[in-house]
Structure 1
Amino acid sequence: MRVEEVFRQGTLTCDATDSIKEVAEKMTADHVGALAVLEDDRITGIISERDVVRAISQDVNPRTTTATTFATHQIETAKFGEETRDVARRMLDAGVRHLPVMQGRMVVGVISMRDLLAIETWL
C-alpha cells in the first residue's frame, strides 16, 4: 500500500512563531498529535505532543515560548508513491510517531503510526 492511500489529508500545520499554548489548542481542536512547523510557507520542523510536554516540564511560559523553540528540526517526511512499509520502518528507526506527507514541495497532510497500524489490522 502507498502513502497517498492512507494518510490524513489536510494541512495540519502551525507557524514557527505560534506559542506552545496555541500549538496545544490546535492539536486539541484538530484531534492530532503533531503539527508541521512552517516558516515562510516552508516546513522547518515538526512539533508533537511530546515536545509540548517537554516544554511544560522545563517550566517555560507557554504563552510566549514559540513552536520553533521545541520543534524537531531534523525531520523525516513521507512522500506520495512511497510504500507504507518503508515509511513504518523509517518511523521505527527514528523513534517518531508522525511524519508530514509531502506532494512535491507542499505539505498535504500527516501519516501516523496509528494510520499504519490500521492498515495491518484491517487488511
Structure 2
Amino acid sequence: MKTRDVMNAECRYCAPGDSVVDAAKLMADEDFGAVPIAENNRLVGMLTDRDIVVRGLADGRDAAQTKIGDIMSGEIYYCYDDQDIEDVAANMGEMQVRRMPVVNRDKRLVGMVAIGDLARQAPGANVAGEALGEISRPAA
C-alpha cells in the first residue's frame, strides 16, 4: 500500500509570512497540532503547537506580530506519496514523529499522513503499532 492510499489529501497549510495567530487559529479550527508551511505549494517548514509555545510565547514574542517563518521548524521530515507505508511508518518511528507532510516527486505538498491514518487504513499490517513503539521510546 502506498502513502497516497492512506494520507489526508485535504492538506491545509500556512505561509512563512503568516502570523503565528493565523496558524494557531487554523490549528484550533481543524483540531490538529502541526501545520505544514509552504510557499507556492512547496514545503519549507513545519509549525507545531510546541513551536508556538517554546519558540514563541516562552520567548515573550507577540503572537499577532510574530511571523511563522521566525519560529517554525526548519528541519522537515516528509515522505513521498508513492512510498510504501511500511517505509513511511519505519521512518516515523526512527524520527519519532506522529505525522508527516506528503510531497510528490516534484516536492509539491499533496497531503499529510499521521500514525492514526496508518492504523485505520492498514490495521492488519501492524505498521502503526511498530512505529508507535519507536515514537514512544525515550529520546537519546
TM-score of the superposition, structure 1-length normalised?
A: 0.86
Q: Which residue of 2 aligns with 1:60?
A: 61
Using the TM superposition, give the Cα deviation of residue 6 of structure 1 relative to its aligned residue in structure 2, in angstroms: 0.6
Moved more, 63-72 or 53-62: 53-62
Q: Does 1:27 align with 2:27?
A: yes
**2:115 equivalent in structure 1:** 113
Could you tell me how far apart the structure 2 residues matched to 1:36 and 1:18 are? 12
1:7 maps onto 2:7 in alignment: yes
- Cα shift at 1:65: 1.0
Q: How well do the aligned residues superpose, as a CA RMSD in angstroms? A: 1.9
The higher relative CO (CA closer than 8 Å, separation ≥ 6) is in 1
Say whether the 8 Å CA contact 2:41–2:109 is kept in structure 1: no
Unaligned runs of 5+ in 2: 126-140
Question: Relative to structure 1, is the Cα distance of residues 56 and 9 closer, same or farther in structure 2, using a 3 angstrom cutoff?
Answer: same
Cα distance between partner residues in 1 of 2:42 and 2:123: 34
1:36-47 alignment to 2 at 5 Å? 36-47=36-47
SS at match of 1:73: coil
Shift of 1:122: 6.7
- Separation (CA, whole Å) in 2 of partners of 1:56 and 1:82: 37
The amino acid that maps onto 1:7 is: M
Size of the alignment, in residue pairs? 123
Q: TM-score, normalised by structure 2?
A: 0.77
TM superposition shift of 1:32:
2.2
Deviation of 1:107 after TM superposition, in Å, equals 0.6
What do residues 78-118 of structure 1 show as CA deviations (whole Å, max 9, x unaligned)?
11221112111212222222211112332111111221233
Letter in 1 for 2:44: T
Q: Which amino acid aligns with 1:25?
A: K
Q: State the partner residue of 1:49.
A: 49
* Alignment-mate amino acid for residue 49 of structure 1: D
SS at match of 2:36: strand
Determine the structure 1 residue equivalent to 2:78: 77
Higher strand share: 1
The SS at the match of 2:14 is: strand
For structure 1, the 5+ residue unaligned runs are none
